[in-house]
Structure 1
Amino acid sequence: MNRGKLVGGAIVGFALIFGIVVYYTQIYAYYEQVDAETVTIRLTPLGGQDAPEPMLATNLQAIDGSSSPLRFRACFDTSESLALLTESYVIHDAAVPLNAPGWFDCFDAARIGADLRDGTALAFLGEAEIADGVDRIVAVYRDGRAFAWHQLNEKFAD
């Protein structure tokens, strides 16, 4: 009877430790803060023949991960008006922000997604194929708040 409790306890202990390690790696280990000077947010001009152009971005906070191109998230401010942006750059109609880890609290995917659906924010194609099958999307609000993330494009999307 004691041996069974010992084996059962060892299995539960191992499962608990394994769960903690998996949680830590998914939420913390593979993400790193990105230095604002190393990130340039770009938008794709209408017509698509020209290369993506840098947009004005201040107060940039960004995270990225080496384990997946989908781990990029950024929060920033821009002084470019929505009117100018809609006249100059490609609007992205299928934008779906991906969740960020809870500790990166400037990026609220649920709120951004709801605001994109109700028109409070507009999404633009930042850079197509920033990685194989992945596009950078940029959402901009009228007050100048802006967010960027990577999402699968039609190459890998359902």
Structure 2
Amino acid sequence: MNGKVIGTVLILSGAIAGAALYYLQVYGYYHEVKAVAGEDVTLVSLSSGEPEPILYDNFQAIDADSSPIRYRACFTTTMTQATLSETYVAAEKPQPRNAPGWFDCFDAEKIGEELANGTAIAFLGHKNIHYGVDRIVAITSDGRGYVWNDLNNCGEKAYDGTQVGEDCPPRPETGQ
């Protein structure tokens, strides 16, 4: 009898812990991002090297404080890929990151396919939006846009423990 009680307690506590972990990873840390005109969708200008806002509509975004690469956004724009390509910096080797299944406007697999077949073009949205993290913006030929944060070269080195090079900015103080 005593073994059944202990076994039941262990199984229930494992199930509760598993459910809590799943909820926190998929839902718990994310929050909706409120749109701020002129700041939500920016692209780095070829001429100035600075992020500039572009025209957009139907903006939806999520983010989480637990990681700088959890940001995802969707929008539409009337700007053409030709105009954007002539004006803004293209992103190198863009790899869309998966979004939670409930954020259904952002499908990383479809975005990756569109980038691969040339119906979408990726641009640098903001360099070092967080230390070692760049914001990437992909825009399709029909005006759908997607935004995600991705590690840049400095971020990959900093987070895997290898020595960052001189071309990386100094790491900000963490207060620890």
Q: Which residue matches 1:34?
A: 33
- Aligned-residue CA RMSD (Å): 1.3
* Structural mapping, 1:1-158, within 5 Å: 2-37=1-36, 39-47=39-47, 49-157=48-156
TM normalised by structure 1 equals 0.94
In 1, Cα distance between equivalents of 2:49 and 2:107: 31
What are structure 2's unaligned runs of at least 5 residues? 158-176
For residue 43 of structure 1, report the CA deviation from its aligned partner. 0.3
Deviations 1:53-81, CA, capped at 9 Å, x for gaps: 10111000011111111111000001111
Q: Secondary structure at the match of 1:143?
A: coil
User: How far did residue 86 of structure 1 move?
Assistant: 0.6
Displacement of 1:83 in angstroms is 0.3
CA distance in 2, matches of 1:52, 1:37: 15
Q: TM-score, normalised by structure 2?
A: 0.84
More contact order relative to length (CA 8 Å, sep ≥ 6): 1
Aligned residue for 1:96, secondary structure, equals: coil
Letter in 2 for 1:51: E
Quote the offset at 1:118 in angstroms.
1.5
Give per-residue Cα distances to partners, 1:16-67, cap 9 Å, x unaligned.
00000001111111101111236521101115x4321101110000111111
